[in-house]
């Protein structure tokens, strides 16, 4: 039987990097082998994808107004097969999918969403704690 997908806790800010909204996503028990950073890629402006030691960190799927992110923990690890999924169908404003990226460290993933309108404030949505604006 498939494990239920759990939505991880997260918070957002738009002050970490100009022109971006950063989501700091808590993934309990996650161990990261590679944070998604390298000197060569940093110089080139390329963002590597983080690699998990005890989980599969799937590459996020971005579109103009949303994203999908999944992390699947190993069964024989401290993650005990946990499956985390964060889906935002409609962000408050457009993003630039090609310029969005993911970084990681133990216990956390950092999703950087590149704003289409760099100076447009997402503060109200961040303060309210809800970047999802789709109505079901």
Whole-Å CA distances, 8 to 26, 42, 82, 84, 94: 6, 28, 11, 6, 23
**Domain residue spans in the chain?**
5-128
Q: Which CATH architecture has domain 5-128?
A: Sandwich (2.60)
Encode pLDDT of 53-98 as tens digits. 999 999 999 999 999 999 999 998 899 999 999 999 999 999 999 9
Task: Give the span between the Cα atoms of 83 and 27, in whole angstroms.
Answer: 10
The average pLDDT across 18-47 equals 78
**What gap in Å lies between CA 126 and CA 102, rounded to an integer?**
19
What is residue 79's three-state secondary structure?
coil
> Which pTM was predicted?
0.89
Confidence check: pLDDT of 12 > 70? yes
Q: How many CA atoms lie within 13 A of 50 on its CB side?
A: 26
Q: Is the pLDDT of residue 4 over 70?
A: yes
């Amino acid at each position: 039987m498939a494990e239920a997908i759990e939505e991880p806790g997260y918070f957002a800010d738009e002050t970490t990097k100009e022109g971006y909204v950063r989501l700091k996503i808590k993934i309990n028990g996650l161990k990261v082998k590679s944070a998604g950073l390298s000197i060569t890629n940093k110089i080139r402006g390329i963002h590597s994808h983080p690699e998990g030691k005890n989980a599969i960190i799937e590459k996020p799927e971005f579109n103009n107004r949303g994203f999908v992110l999944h992390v699947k923990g190993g069964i024989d690890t401290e993650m005990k097969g946990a499956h985390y999924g964060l889906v935002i169908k409609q962000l408050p404003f457009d993003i630039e999918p090609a310029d969005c990226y993911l970084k990681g460290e133990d216990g956390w993933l950092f999703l950087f969403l590149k704003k289409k309108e760099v100076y447009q404030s997402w503060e109200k949505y961040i303060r309210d704690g809800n970047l999802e604006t789709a109505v079901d």
